[in-house]
Amino acid sequence: MVTTSRDKKLRIWDVRQERPAHEGPGHTGAKNSRVVWMGEHNRVATTGFSKMSDRQMALWDVGNAREPIGGFSVLDSISGVCMPFWDDGTQCLYLAGKGDGNIRYFEYENDKFEFLSEYKSGEPQRGIAFVPRRGINVHENEVMRAYKTVNDAYIEPISFTVPRRAEVFQSDIYPPAVGIKPAMSAAEWLSGKDGLPAKIDLESVYEGNAPVELPSDYKLPTSTPAAAPAPSPAPAAAATKQAPEPTPAFRSPPPTMSEQKGSIAALADKFQDNEIDDDDDDASSFEEIPQPNRNEANVASKSCGYTKGSCKTQSTVADSSFSTSTNRFADSCTALLRGTIE
């Protein structure tokens, strides 16, 4: 048996000797602390407060109560007492706070508690109790059920289920549970006899039959794979001539930049010439008629095929026109060159 007290001591009792077998310092806070025995493990879990009024939890070895395993773990700073409950089937520890509506549950593994999840409710609980595993609903994958008192007015059931399909029995979450048959009488226990109570098979409850009793040391059978038959040598297959396959064409590695330098330069020159030609093509389609100067007019007058007098007369007219108006001279010379003067 294990107890906590207001003197901040954790005691593990040997009831037959009526004295504590182990004793050690517990939680240092002034408020109450709680303790629960963890089933068939030689471990106990406690909840309490620190000197700063922080809620704590701790794991202890029943053979060494001088200090907790891994120290004290801080939960929160709520003032309500935290009540622990142990589920030996799923190896989970449930912590229900008095005065709040939250229930946290932790998984025990490798001598430490791992947080799983939290049930939250707006209705504060004054007290709470958990149903033994032999009373849970195995058809709905229920692993734990609690009943909490709300404001001393009514009792609210809380069901903890595993989100699975409940078409078949889930043996991994329903190991044999502790039955109702005692392991021994009180006289046998006082005489020094030890033992564990018998267990019941929850699969028989799932099938709707009477609970099947199992020995206290019953362990779930581990499924071992069937031995594979020894491999026999395969018969030698007749050698068949395979059709020749075409050899894939060899692909040389791509040329480097230095090898492509000449071709790149030639390609650049080619595009440069095209750009120049394009510039010429883009020029205006209108032909610019150059205005002849005075000497060109004289040469034109000398090379014409008309009579000397006519050419001389036109040259004289052109000279006088040039001195008066450059535009008129240009028009007459242009007409002369085109042979329009009769």
Write out pLDDT tens, residues 50-106: 999 999 999 999 988 889 999 999 999 988 899 999 999 899 999 999 888 899 999
pLDDT over threshold 90, residue 253: no
If one compares 152 and 240, the residue with the highest pLDDT of the two is: 152
Most confident by average pLDDT, 35-49, 186-200, 277-291: 35-49
Q: Where in the chain is the domain with CATH 2.130.10.10?
A: 2-169
**For the residues 108-114, what does the mean pLDDT come to?**
93
Q: Could you tell me which residues come within 8 angstroms of residue 272 by beta carbon, excluding any fewer than 6 positions away?
A: none
The predicted structure's pLDDT at residue 234: 44
Q: Could you tell me which residues come within 8 angstroms of residue 99 by beta carbon, excluding any fewer than 6 positions away?
A: 78, 79, 80, 81, 124, 125, 126
Evaluate whether 72 touches 34 at the Cβ level (below 8 Å): no
Evaluate whether 10 touches 4 at the Cβ level (below 8 Å): yes
CB atoms under 10 Å from CB of 11, counted, come to 19
User: Mean pLDDT score of the chain, rounded to an integer?
Assistant: 76
If one compares 258 and 105, the residue with the highest pLDDT of the two is: 105
pLDDT over threshold 70, residue 303: no
The predicted structure's pLDDT at residue 143: 92
Q: Which letter does DSSP use for residue 254 in this model?
A: P
If one compares 305 and 117, the residue with the highest pLDDT of the two is: 117
The predicted structure's pLDDT at residue 43: 94
If one compares 72 and 221, the residue with the highest pLDDT of the two is: 72
The predicted structure's pLDDT at residue 195: 86
The predicted structure's pLDDT at residue 239: 45
**For the residues 26-46, what does the mean pLDDT come to?**
92
Domain 2-169: assigned CATH number: 2.130.10.10
At position 230, the amino acid (one-letter code) is A
The predicted structure's pLDDT at residue 206: 86
pLDDT over threshold 90, residue 204: no
**For the residues 183-210, what does the mean pLDDT come to?**
87
If one compares 229 and 248, the residue with the highest pLDDT of the two is: 248
Is the pTM higher than 0.85? The answer reads: no
Phi and psi at 66, nearest 5°, equal -75, -30
**H or E stretch including 156?**
strand 154-161
Most confident by average pLDDT, 236-240, 265-269, 306-310: 265-269
Identify the sign of the CA torsion 143, 147, 148, 151. Answer: positive
Evaluate whether 67 touches 28 at the Cβ level (below 8 Å): no
The predicted structure's pLDDT at residue 256: 64
If one compares 244 and 42, the residue with the highest pLDDT of the two is: 42
pLDDT over threshold 90, residue 302: no
Spell out a b/e string for 180-203, using b for 16 or more CB atoms within 10 Å of the CB, else e.
Answer: eeeeeeeeeeeeeeeeeebbbbbb
Residues 141-190 have pLDDT tens digits of 999 999 999 887 899 999 999 888 778 888 888 999 888 888 899 899 88
pLDDT over threshold 70, residue 127: yes
